[in-house]
């Protein structure tokens, strides 16, 4: 049974066409994808609906409303993966009314950019943009988009602690963190308190164990003033794999990373999600259709016929 009130809420709505038409002549800069919602014009206390300057596409076949911003996009991009959108669209093939989406319009615009960037300019994008896309792709079940984000994150020069935090929160392949673990384990100084606060206590303890093993190994090898940095790279990697429970690619069959097209999407599916916002139903899961013919809700909080959908 699905939670009747998770973060993702898609439902049918009726929009007064006159409110939309009143803003069709407004000219917006092409590159704008963010809004100061406090400056949005209001009508009788409610925010007036405006069309997104870039992603209200005349040839689009699906309208989506995020807060007071209306998008018109191509349904194909949102349903070609077994995502939450595919489930929603499968129950409403003949409907043309807009859906409401419980996200910020600027965040949804970032997500759509992945599909509509004509130049495929994925390089040199800021970390903040990729994190927004990663969060929504994870929330809605877009596995291929997640792979794209991970490939781009691997190209960024992330601080080891920040990388560990991001990859852990979004359940990205932990083997991609071995270089970051190694950097911290061999560092001559410990992280500051503010940096260490980003990591959970278990990760900190495991890194401490790696440092101690590396220091011991350096002393056993005859180093006169041993430190954890004195240990060899392969020794440190072996300690990391043993202590963090990761396969050592130096002695085992090569492990496919996300960048190499791993079918696991770089996700540890056996672990519980650490991302608090991921409360939408599993994409592709079995759906129940128990609403009556009038579109009223059943005991599971589900609606049909232009009403609130399962989530």
DSSP string of 162-179, one letter each residue: HHHHHHHHTTB-GGGGHH
Indicate whether this model's pTM tops 0.85. Answer: no
The answer to whether 307 touches 295, Cβ cutoff 8 Å, is yes
Q: What share of the chain is helix, strand, coil (3-state, %, to 5)?
A: 40, 10, 50
Residue 64's SS3 state is strand
Which phi-psi region, left, alpha or beta, contains residue 13 (left: φ > 0; alpha: ψ -120 to 50)?
A: beta
Instruction: Summarize pLDDT for 140-188 with one digit per residue, the tens.
Output: 999 999 999 999 999 999 999 999 999 999 999 999 999 999 999 999 8
* Residue 46 phi, psi (nearest 5): -110, 145
In this prediction, residue 259 carries a pLDDT of 40
Q: How many Å from the N-terminal Cα to the C-terminal Cα in the chain?
A: 11
Which phi-psi region, left, alpha or beta, contains residue 181 (left: φ > 0; alpha: ψ -120 to 50)?
A: alpha
d(CA 22, CA 196): 52
Pure H helices in 141-264:
143-155, 160-169, 178-186, 193-196, 201-220, 233-244
Instruction: Summarize pLDDT for 233-287 with one digit per residue, the tens.
Output: 999 999 999 999 999 877 655 444 444 434 445 554 433 333 333 334 444 444 4
What radius of gyration, in Å, describes the C-alpha atoms of the chain?
24
d(CA 149, CA 138): 11
DSSP secondary structure letter of residue 308: B
> For residue 119, what pLDDT band results from cuts at 50, 70 and 90?
confident
């Amino acid at each position: 049974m699905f939670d009747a009130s998770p973060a993702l809420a898609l439902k049918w709505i009726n929009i007064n066409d006159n409110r939309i038409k009143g803003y069709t002549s407004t000219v917006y800069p092409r590159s704008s994808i963010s809004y100061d919602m406090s400056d949005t014009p209001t009508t009788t206390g409610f925010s007036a609906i405006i069309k997104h300057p870039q992603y209200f596409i005349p040839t689009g076949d699906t309208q989506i409303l995020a807060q007071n911003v209306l998008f018109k996009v191509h349904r194909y991009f949102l349903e070609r993966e077994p995502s939450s959108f595919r489930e929603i669209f499968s129950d409403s093939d003949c409907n043309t009314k807009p859906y409401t989406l419980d996200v910020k319009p600027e965040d949804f615009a970032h997500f759509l950019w992945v599909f509509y960037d004509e130049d495929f300019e994925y390089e040199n994008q800021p970390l903040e943009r990729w994190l927004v896309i990663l969060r929504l792709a994870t929330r809605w079940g877009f596995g291929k988009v997640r792979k794209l984000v991970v490939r781009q994150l691997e190209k960024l020069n992330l601080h080891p602690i920040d990388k560990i935090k991001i990859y852990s929160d979004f359940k990205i392949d932990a083997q991609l963190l071995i270089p970051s673990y190694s950097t911290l384990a061999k560092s001559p100084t410990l992280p500051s308190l503010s940096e260490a606060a980003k990591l959970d206590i278990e990760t900190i303890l495991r890194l401490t164990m790696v440092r101690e093993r590396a220091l011991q190994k350096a002393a056993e090898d005859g180093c006169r003033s041993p430190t954890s940095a004195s240990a060899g790279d392969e020794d440190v990697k072996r300690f990391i794999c043993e202590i963090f429970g990761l396969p050592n690619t130096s002695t085992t069959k090569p492990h496919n990373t996300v960048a190499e097209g791993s079918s696991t999407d770089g996700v540890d599916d056996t672990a519980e999600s650490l991302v608090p916002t991921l409360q939408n139903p599993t994409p592709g899961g079995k759906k129940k259709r128990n609403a009556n013919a009038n579109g009223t809700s059943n005991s599971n909080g589900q609606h049909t016929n232009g009403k609130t959908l399962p989530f």
